[in-house]
Structure 1
Amino acid sequence: MGKRYFAKHAKSSAALISLGIHAILILVALSFVAVTVITKDDQVFEAKKVQRPKMQLKKLQVPVNIKKKQTQKPKLRKRIVVQPKLQQVPDIKMPEITGVKGGMGSAAGGLGGGGSLGFAMPEMELFGIKSKGEKVFIVLDASAYMMVDSMGGIPAYTIIKSELVRILEGLNSTILFNIAVYGGGDYTLFPEMVAATPDNVGKVEAWLKPLNAVSQGMGDRDYGPKTLGPGGVRIGGEFQVEPLQSSPGEWARPTLLAMKQQADVVFVLSCRWGNLVYKTGTRERDWSDSDQERYEEALAKARRLLQEENERRRARNQAPRVIARGNHGLVQAYCPGVRVPPSGATYARYSPDEMVEAFNNLRGKEKAAAPTKSGVSKQNKNAFEINVIHFVKEDEGSAEDVNFKKVASLTRGEYKRIKGMKAIQSYVTAAE
């Protein structure tokens, strides 16, 4: 019966079998897919970069300045407290102050300002040159060169001397000063630096008064340092200091003395740089016996002519004629065509730089020996200035003395040229 059933329903059975097989395949396929999905690795997702549009900033139409505020750091001020241990407070006597511009306290802060006493630096003016200093040294040329007729003679020199005394009388009494007079190989000075008090100025005036003074019946050679009054001392000894090879004369020797006394202001009143030389060797002289004979005859004639001329001047109550350069100058003045004896030596001149170097060197060596300063100044103790008042002949040209001018420049001083008697009188009148 079974066989007949399958034979009768063969098509149906095949369909059933086919369905069954397909069902089994579907189940197998589903199982395979499920296992594959479960065992598959995790996926990694990458984010894509998004490009966003950028907005362009507009420029400001109105400029804006932004200033950074500056802040200053506070300054720390050091304060020094001094506690002196004194058993008794000493009495302090201040000198009489006269002629100080601005008076006491004219400096910033007055008394005690900046740690000073508040004094204005004393000032003086001499023949148009103004200077300030505590220790003033004046070098006065009294040589025959200063009193020749073309310079104004002895009367012109008397005016110079009187003006100098007038300036001293007007000095502040806190100033220390000294004066040296030179000429004809003679060097004389007031003994030491003294305060410019009326008493000291009076002593100096008495000392200078007979110098080259015109008097009735005065002799042909009554001039020069030898006519000074009592109270001065002669300057002797050698002043040889590097780089000088010998002791110089003229105005340089008193100026070296000023450096020994630690002057911070020097006034040189002179008519010439002078023979600031040193010997370098010897030479043969072109000079014969006949030359010597003619010279001696001319010298005798010149002396006679000078004596006659001065007799005429004395008769008119005038000062005698002064001749510079001794016998050589006398022969050249009255017998100009006659030769004078030449030198048998050769010389070299000192330069302005060498002279200033010597002044500095001597000043440094003698610094400890100088008198105590008044304490008014705050200037460098080694600083000094040389002011030159250069008197020249009335008929001289306009050329300045380059040596004097350079010395003044190297020491921060001034140079002034005064030409003849009229110029001297005009300066004195203007000052008065």
Structure 2
Amino acid sequence: MISKPKKRKMNPMLLNVLLISGGVHAVALFILGSITVYKYIVPSEAQFEEPPVVEQVEPPKEVKVEIRPQAAPQQQSMQNLRMKQVGNITVANVDVDLPSMEQSFTVSSGLGGFGGGALLGGTRGSIGIGMSDISVFGLKSKAERVLFAIDASRTMLTDKKGGLHSYRVIKEEITTMVSNLSTGTLFNVVFYNDGRLLFFKPRPVPAGDQVTQELINWVAPINSDINKLGAPGAKKIKIEALPEEPVHIAMNSYQHSGGNETAYLTQVFLEQSIDAVFVIAPRHSGFQRIARPYTQKESEAWKKRTSDPRYQEQLKEHNKERAELVKKAREIKAERDAERKKRGLPPQIFDGGDFVRRMGLSYKTNHPGGKPTYYIEERDVVRYFKDLTKVLYKDKNGTPPSINVVLFLAGDEKFSESNEDRLKDYTRFFGGKFRIIRGLDGIKAASSSKDTKN
């Protein structure tokens, strides 16, 4: 008999292992499924980069401008328009509250005579608006602001220089040059004599047809009549810079003595705020020693000498004789001038010196002696002008004007090499040039302004 096989019973421990394993797998499948669903089905939250830090800049200060209303302008015909210098035009009051500036700046002084370093300040500058080519008796330059200076003394009018005829050529040269300047160029003209000056205008004015005609009318009477020589109305001009310096004091005290007039005129020119100067003169030896005022000791010595009875007696005799000789000299000149008139010549003009001796007369009793002169040496004069140009121009980032000299001499007039060297050094000091012209024919041949166009 076949017996039935017995059913095997599952080991309880194995069953527990299987159940635990199944549970673990079920939990793992659930977790993995959840991750998959979250990653691929549920959208993730958007991410943004942090914006860069923006630097906060303080806005500029508000500029407040208050413009006061003006009356409606009246219509004006073109014929009544007049050119005026920019610096003299009056405008309505404008209140402007501008923020302060740490650094000042400069615009060309061609806009007007302002001080250096201000908003519209500075010494001579160049913005090229009115630049002109300039040529005076062959001396050439370029400038926006130019001064023409002409000696009006009798020394310019002697016979050997051509007298009044030569002076007429000189005036025509200047007025022709002014007529050929560019419209934007500023100019002025001055005549001088014995330390006094006569300016065409108080300050440089813009060139143009109307002002040229005004200039022609203004210069016409100057040294055109033998009975009215010189520059009527000329006056002393006060110089301003370096007033405490000995050279400055000496120039004010002795403007007619030798180099004093040259030095004084040079400072007057430098204080005009210009680009170029053209000087036409019968004498010019550049920088020289100049006469200075007396010290107290020197004054006392001179007073003692002149108070001596012998000095006083000789001076009295000399002056008495001179009065008689002057009368006689005038009679001689009148006779000579009458002869000249018959030949169609004007009266003779003398360039200074003792009138009595000019007429060939002499004294029996000489003058007992004039007042002695004490000088400031040439090197100290040059040093002064170095300091002056520094104060007026270089300290203000400017450039001193060029100074050019036309020296007008008689045909046979002597001019020493030492004086010519001084004149050369003087014009070189100011970046200019010089030229020596002799007599009427020479001054006519040298005329060059008519050929200069702008």
Residue 161 of structure 2 corresponds to residue 151 of structure 1: yes
Gaps of 5+ in 1: 1-84, 88-94, 96-115, 227-231, 371-379
The code of the aligned residue for 1:131 comes to: S
Residue 138 of structure 2 corresponds to residue 128 of structure 1: yes
Alpha-carbon distance, 1:213 to partner = 1.1
Native 8 Å contact 1:151 1:392 kept in 2: yes
Alpha-carbon distance, 1:292 to partner = 3.2
Alpha-carbon distance, 1:243 to partner = 4.8
Residue 335 of structure 2 corresponds to residue 335 of structure 1: no
Native 8 Å contact 1:405 1:414 kept in 2: yes
1:121-200 matched pairs, under 5 angstroms:
121-190=131-200, 191-200=202-211
Q: What does residue 224 of structure 1 align with?
A: 230
Distance 1:279 1:393, change over 3 A: farther
Q: Secondary structure at the match of 2:432?
A: coil
Q: TM-score, normalised by structure 1?
A: 0.59
Alpha-carbon distance, 1:306 to partner = 2.0
* Residue in structure 1 matching 2:351, options 309, 319, 324: 324
Residue 291 of structure 2 corresponds to residue 277 of structure 1: yes
Deviation per residue, 1:321-341 (Å, 9 max, x gap): 21222xx43122102544874
Native 8 Å contact 1:260 1:363 kept in 2: no
1:184 and 1:175 mapped to 2: Cα distance? Answer: 30
1:254 and 1:289 mapped to 2: Cα distance? Answer: 37
1:206 and 1:309 mapped to 2: Cα distance? Answer: 33
Q: Secondary structure at the match of 1:323?
A: coil
* Residue in structure 1 matching 2:444, options 421, 425, 428: 425
Q: What does residue 403 of structure 2 align with?
A: 386
Q: Which of 180-189 and 421-430 deviates more? A: 421-430
2:389 and 2:322 mapped to 1: Cα distance? Answer: 45
Q: What does residue 294 of structure 1 align with?
A: 321
1:253 and 1:408 mapped to 2: Cα distance? Answer: 16
Deviation per residue, 1:35-79 (Å, 9 max, x gap): xxxxxxxxxxxxxxxxxxxxxxxxxxxxxxxxxxxxxxxxxxxxx
Alpha-carbon distance, 1:224 to partner = 0.5
Q: What does residue 48 of structure 1 align with?
A: none
Residue 224 of structure 2 corresponds to residue 203 of structure 1: no
1:136 and 1:117 mapped to 2: Cα distance? Answer: 15
Q: Secondary structure at the match of 2:373?
A: strand
Alpha-carbon distance, 1:420 to partner = 1.6
Q: Secondary structure at the match of 1:308?
A: helix
Distance 1:201 1:153, change over 3 A: same
The code of the aligned residue for 1:332 comes to: R
User: Which structure's CA Rg is the greater one?
Assistant: 1
Q: Secondary structure at the match of 1:324?
A: coil
Alpha-carbon distance, 1:131 to partner = 1.2
Distance 1:195 1:363, change over 3 A: farther
Q: Which of 418-427 and 305-314 deviates more? A: 305-314
Q: Secondary structure at the match of 2:408?
A: strand
Q: Which of 176-185 and 157-166 deviates more? A: 176-185
Distance 1:318 1:144, change over 3 A: same
Alpha-carbon distance, 1:416 to partner = 0.8
The code of the aligned residue for 1:193 comes to: P
Native 8 Å contact 1:135 1:177 kept in 2: yes
Residue identity over aligned pairs, in percent, reads: 25
The code of the aligned residue for 2:210 comes to: D
Alpha-carbon distance, 1:258 to partner = 2.1
Alpha-carbon distance, 1:389 to partner = 0.8
2:335 and 2:229 mapped to 1: Cα distance? Answer: 18
The code of the aligned residue for 1:181 comes to: F
1:37-56 matched pairs, under 5 angstroms:
none
1:132 and 1:342 mapped to 2: Cα distance? Answer: 53
Q: Secondary structure at the match of 1:211?
A: coil
Q: Secondary structure at the match of 1:346?
A: coil
1:12-31 matched pairs, under 5 angstroms:
none
1:118 and 1:324 mapped to 2: Cα distance? Answer: 43
Deviation per residue, 1:201-245 (Å, 9 max, x gap): 22222111111114xxx53xx21002xxxxx77444456743513
Native 8 Å contact 1:386 1:408 kept in 2: yes
C-alpha RMSD over aligned residues: 3.7
Alpha-carbon distance, 1:141 to partner = 0.3
Higher RCO (CA < 8 A, seq sep 6+): 2
Alpha-carbon distance, 1:273 to partner = 3.2
Q: What does residue 370 of structure 2 align with?
A: 344
Deviation per residue, 1:74-123 (Å, 9 max, x gap): xxxxxxxxxxx999xxxxxxx9xxxxxxxxxxxxxxxxxxxx97779522
1:153 and 1:178 mapped to 2: Cα distance? Answer: 25
Distance 1:357 1:126, change over 3 A: farther
1:386 and 1:193 mapped to 2: Cα distance? Answer: 16
Q: Which of 406-415 and 336-345 deviates more? A: 336-345
Q: Secondary structure at the match of 1:167?
A: helix
